[in-house]
Structure 1
Amino acid sequence: MTQAVTVRRDGDTFQARLFWWHAARLLDPGSPIIRVGFENGPKSFDDIWVEYDPKRSAQDQYGAPLRREHVQCKWHVSPDTYGYSHLIDPEFINANTRSLLQRARDAQLAYAPDGIGVRFKLLTNWRLDRADPLRQMIGTRSGAIRLERLYGSATDNSKAGAVRKAWRDHLGLDEEELRVLARTLAFGEATDTLDGLRDNLDVLFAYVGLRRIPRNESAFPYDDVVFQWMAQDRLEFDRKSFPAICDRDGLLGQGEGRRHVYGVKSFEHPIDRLEERCHQVLDLIPAFDERYIRSEADWGDALYPALRAFLLSAARDQSKLRLALDAHATLAFAAGSVLNIKSGRHVELEQRTTGERIWAADDFPPDVNWASLEAEVVELDPQRPDLAIAVSLTHDIAPDVRRYLSATVPTVGRLLMLTPSTGPGAQSVACGRHAFELAEAATRMVREARGSSPVAAVHLFVAAPNGFTFFLGQRQPVLGPVRLYEFDFEGGRDRSYTPSLTLPISTRTGDPV
């Protein structure tokens, strides 16, 4: 009984905190969100819905404006996975007769009969099973189904065909009707803990002027108040009604004022779309097929020039910048190289760790207990001129780097391996100042490894928070010419590295910060 109560309460907490994640943006004039609903709408997709200003809305996976998003929240105490067959099983949503997919079909007919402009999203802390064919059909950028993958075969005698057949038979649809439904479906994995969601809300509340709850207080009244509103039949909120009800219930506090945040994205976070909260967003997603760049030449020919122009324009307007980088490590490093140490700009970074944090080079005083950086140089071949660097802050990448170098980069003679003294891990970097200090230490160690011997090129492999990678990029002029690499973390190709960007890139003069 106790376990059942805990599960239910945690599920309600999960739903409430996701509601506030969207609803709080009704207090932000720069957000495209204009209405938010709670516990009303199509059955099984009524937990939360969000409506966007059509002039500023995000786009769906095929570039059409996204007007509304209906979210079904499903929280589990213990980790597990699901697949395409669960969506046609009523027990998956604790129902007796109608499955999640049947209810999605009802919602699609009522709200998006042509399949365009509305999305129905399952958001859960369970993961799609890696072996399930549905996982390969879900776009990692948006979480939406990629129709070209669902319909990648002409018959039912394939993995994709088996999914289509199971869904068609269950729903009684033909292929075209299923295609219209599938375009509206999306799946998201909630990777943050409940405490992590609370920490993220604290940052957001500081922006928009909602009363902040000290982290040492166990009670978080926002978890309960939205259900009190539901009992009063207050289920929809807009830019006029939401501030009024928050004021009535004493939820408005002293806000810091909305700081301009500049976002760069090459992939989409499952619940935190940058357009909903950033002053400007550089959307580089169209250059990628999921996590993989469509053309390797685009790193230098298209992405870097666009990133440089975007950041220089932002830097001209103000001396203090806040960046949100939902982007590949290559782009984080490149951003640092644009806004380098000599730019004269104070840069804050929205860093995703176990929650969202604001990192800056001076955010905390130094702490002797922070992990230091340890270096080991491996001599591969003294006749080869290049130096490779493997930075293993979040996990150990040295074995993968060595295999890649041996098979692909015959010019590397030495490998510099950098690891935190506490060992790689998600918590190895404590804050912005720590990341800044580690970047300084890494730069010093690279210079020491180079010594007086000429180095033709530096090959950089990084597994680290983007905040660290940005700070390291700020020191690119000291590092010299750098070739960056991206790893196939999703395992969609060969689970190895591919070269990305080489810096510096020659640019026209006359465009300083």
Structure 2
Amino acid sequence: MADCIAARDNGDTYQAMVFWIYALRMLGGPDIEKLGYEYGEVKSFDDIVVFYKNEQRFRDTYINRDYIQVKFHMMQAGEFTMDSLLESGFINANRDSFLQKVVNAYWNKEIDFSKSRFIIYSPWRIKSDDILNELIYNTDKSFNLKKMQEGKTKRSRMGALRSKLCEKLSINEEELYIILKQICIKDGQDSLEGLKGRLNEGFASHKLQPWSGSRDTFPYCDMARAWIRQGIRLFTADEIKNYCKKEGLFMAAKDTANIAVKSFNRHEDWMNSWANRILDLTDKLAGRELQPGYSWSDIFHSIEQFVATKLDNAREYHIAIETTLSVSFTVGRILNPKSALKVTPVQKTMDGFVDWGRDADNASKYSEFIVSCQEMCDEAADTAISIGATYDIKEDVQDFIKKSGLKIGLYINFVLEDFGMDSVKNGNHAWQLAKQINREISKRSENLKKGTLHIFIAGPNSLMFYLGMQSMMYGKIQIYEFDQNREKTYYPTIAFPQEGEAI
């Protein structure tokens, strides 16, 4: 009985957290007009409804509504199959399956079906050997209708599937394609803990109080439950802000302080006059190399101690990072959202030292990485990523992998088309690029997630800082630096998780 209550409670919490993911998106840009929560415009698709002010590109057309069915599972033991989508029990329904509910929406004359998208959102993954796995694009999680149309007779695999679906759903093939075209299967979504991390990043950007790891209650989910009790089901951005203000969830304005981390001795006069506190690592790092007798564990614990003893959440901080990319990543990792500290990196640019903070309300469009993936060793579980913001490092990294004997299962290359010293424009751009990298990393298979993630980069410190902030869910990590002076190749630096690190 207690287990059933816990499962139901966690399911409600998960649904509320997914709602807040979309609520933060609504607060951060002009696209979403309003959100529905337990909003029964379409029967059985009332978990979350997204109303778009600006129509969203989907497949070869545009949509203005998302109807999201959230399905949480306590354990990761199960998987999606095509049959799951035809079973009412899979979504804890008494009568209709997920697909039958979409069919019912298709016959509902009160909605514009062709302008609507129907999403199932769950931490479970699609079973690798099920026919459903062959039919879902990784680009937008929609159905591959061209693949679905293969085979002319019922004796073919796809023909048999079409026949089965049409019979179960009481529709013809033409209607089947129309219906499947509007569906997304968002499998493999974040766990409760993963959603918590994403939400804390968003809350901090909007100056809302984060969800502290020391608290057992979550006021944002409690507020969502209160709305249901009061019959409040539809929300605009202004209404969300007013509710948060009423509940005292906005953070009070804080004093600011300047801090710095350095392992180089350049710009000392500027840094000494600007920073209130400086973590000087030159006794442990000679530029990019460890001083004799020191390890990367010493570097990590020096930064960790500096944060624990010199910083507090009564202030906001601007941090200058005059050090290596490995240290920048480490600083960002330690200052992840669980730290409950608001820290803005100060980036050295062609125009001097500039604040590279991220603005959640900034809807500007910046260039994205061109991403290419290459499967390498079938038996290997490690992943290597190369990030080319200032230089295209693909050939150098591939050469290093070949010569070093690293066994890499998947290699992902990120490169900006206009790579160069000024290709990353500001903090918002760096943050968006770090999030793009994070999204690709999260797509790894379960087997690859068990291996080590090898990271190579040519880019600004702030980009590495923001990537480090998001790295707590990456598993094992190895960072590399480029030896610019002697060998002209890469060498490993710090690895994660570090001993004693809180994950």
1:86 is paired with a residue whose SS is helix
Distance verdict in 2 for CA 1:320–1:128, change over 3 Å: closer
Task: State the match for 2:7 in structure 1.
Answer: 7
| Unaligned 5+ runs, structure 1 | 261-274, 292-298, 360-393, 395-424, 430-434, 451-457, 466-513
Task: State the match for 1:207 in structure 2.
Answer: 205
Task: From 309, 316, 326, give the equivalent of 2:436.
Answer: 326
Aligned counterparts of 1:139 and 1:312: Cα–Cα separation in 2: 35
Distance verdict in 2 for CA 1:445–1:9, change over 3 Å: farther
| TM-fit CA distance, 1:211 | 2.1
Contact 1:320–1:346 under 8 Å retained in 2: no
Task: From 301, 311, 315, give the equivalent of 2:424.
Answer: 315
| TM-fit CA distance, 1:117 | 2.9
Task: State the match for 2:70 in structure 1.
Answer: 73
Task: State the match for 1:197 in structure 2.
Answer: 195
Contact 1:105–1:181 under 8 Å retained in 2: yes
Task: From 145, 160, 183, give the equivalent of 2:181.
Answer: 183
Aligned counterparts of 1:209 and 1:157: Cα–Cα separation in 2: 59
| TM-fit CA distance, 1:114 | 6.9
Percent identity, aligned pairs only? 25
Task: From 468, 475, 482, give the equivalent of 1:427.
Answer: 475
Size of the aligned set, in residue pairs, is 344
Aligned counterparts of 2:111 and 2:374: Cα–Cα separation in 1: 27
| TM-fit CA distance, 1:426 | 4.4
Task: State the match for 1:279 in structure 2.
Answer: 364
Aligned counterparts of 1:241 and 1:121: Cα–Cα separation in 2: 25
Q: Say whether 1:439 aligns with 2:484.
A: no
2:121 is paired with a residue whose SS is strand
**Match for 1:165: what amino acid?**
S
1:49 is paired with a residue whose SS is strand
**Match for 1:34: what amino acid?**
E
Aligned counterparts of 1:150 and 1:289: Cα–Cα separation in 2: 25
Aligned counterparts of 1:311 and 1:230: Cα–Cα separation in 2: 51
Q: Say whether 1:246 aligns with 2:244.
A: yes
Contact 2:136–2:185 under 8 Å retained in 1: yes
**Match for 1:315: what amino acid?**
V
Aligned counterparts of 1:309 and 1:142: Cα–Cα separation in 2: 26
**Match for 2:476: what amino acid?**
S
| TM-fit CA distance, 1:25 | 2.7
Contact 1:25–1:208 under 8 Å retained in 2: no
TM-score w.r.t. structure 1 length?
0.57
| TM-fit CA distance, 1:245 | 2.0
Distance verdict in 2 for CA 1:111–1:84, change over 3 Å: farther
Contact 2:368–2:416 under 8 Å retained in 1: no
2:93 is paired with a residue whose SS is coil
Aligned counterparts of 2:6 and 2:475: Cα–Cα separation in 1: 28
Contact 2:105–2:113 under 8 Å retained in 1: no
Task: State the match for 1:22 in structure 2.
Answer: 22
Aligned counterparts of 1:177 and 1:289: Cα–Cα separation in 2: 36
**Match for 2:34: what amino acid?**
R
- Aligned counterparts, 1:450-465, within 5 A: none
| TM-fit CA distance, 1:93 | 2.2
Aligned counterparts of 2:63 and 2:367: Cα–Cα separation in 1: 18
Task: State the match for 2:47 in structure 1.
Answer: 47
CA-to-partner distance for each residue in 1:439-495, whole Å, 9 max, x for gaps? 22xx34996597xxxxxxx9x9xxx99xxxxxxxxxxxxxxxxxxxxxxxxxxxxxx
Task: From 91, 94, 109, give the equivalent of 1:93.
Answer: 91
Contact 1:46–1:71 under 8 Å retained in 2: yes
CA-to-partner distance for each residue in 1:80-103, whole Å, 9 max, x for gaps? 013112222222222332222111
Contact 1:108–1:184 under 8 Å retained in 2: no
Aligned counterparts of 2:136 and 2:361: Cα–Cα separation in 1: 22
Aligned counterparts of 1:118 and 1:311: Cα–Cα separation in 2: 41
Q: CA RMSD in A?
A: 4.3
Task: State the match for 1:401 in structure 2.
Answer: none
Larger CA deviation: 140-149 vs 318-327: 318-327
Aligned counterparts of 1:112 and 1:335: Cα–Cα separation in 2: 52
Aligned counterparts of 2:488 and 2:415: Cα–Cα separation in 1: 33
Aligned counterparts of 1:52 and 1:3: Cα–Cα separation in 2: 38
Contact 1:32–1:276 under 8 Å retained in 2: no
Distance verdict in 2 for CA 1:248–1:3, change over 3 Å: same
| TM-fit CA distance, 1:178 | 0.8
Distance verdict in 2 for CA 1:197–1:248, change over 3 Å: same
| TM-fit CA distance, 1:215 | 1.9
| TM-fit CA distance, 1:167 | 1.2
Distance verdict in 2 for CA 1:247–1:68, change over 3 Å: same
| TM-fit CA distance, 1:131 | 1.4
**Match for 1:428: what amino acid?**
K
Distance verdict in 2 for CA 1:318–1:120, change over 3 Å: closer
- Aligned counterparts, 1:73-152, within 5 A: 73-79=70-76, 80-110=78-108, 116-152=114-150
Contact 1:84–1:134 under 8 Å retained in 2: yes
Aligned counterparts of 1:195 and 1:155: Cα–Cα separation in 2: 46
Distance verdict in 2 for CA 1:108–1:348, change over 3 Å: farther
Aligned counterparts of 1:305 and 1:428: Cα–Cα separation in 2: 20
**Match for 1:279: what amino acid?**
S
Task: From 463, 478, 492, give the equivalent of 1:347.
Answer: 463
**Match for 2:153: what amino acid?**
T
**Match for 1:38: what amino acid?**
Y
Distance verdict in 2 for CA 1:201–1:317, change over 3 Å: closer
| TM-fit CA distance, 1:305 | 12
| TM-fit CA distance, 1:334 | 12
CA-to-partner distance for each residue in 1:388-414, whole Å, 9 max, x for gaps? xxxxxx9xxxxxxxxxxxxxxxxxxxx
**Match for 2:51: what amino acid?**
E
Task: State the match for 1:403 in structure 2.
Answer: none
| TM-fit CA distance, 1:358 | 4.4
Aligned counterparts of 1:58 and 1:245: Cα–Cα separation in 2: 27
| TM-fit CA distance, 1:24 | 2.2
CA-to-partner distance for each residue in 1:314-349, whole Å, 9 max, x for gaps? 6355798323353568xx999944x36xxxx64355
**Match for 1:347: what amino acid?**
L
| Unaligned 5+ runs, structure 2 | 254-315, 317-341, 346-359, 376-392, 395-412, 442-452, 497-503
Contact 1:60–1:117 under 8 Å retained in 2: no
Distance verdict in 2 for CA 1:306–1:81, change over 3 Å: closer
Distance verdict in 2 for CA 1:317–1:87, change over 3 Å: closer
2:463 is paired with a residue whose SS is strand
| TM-fit CA distance, 1:44 | 2.8
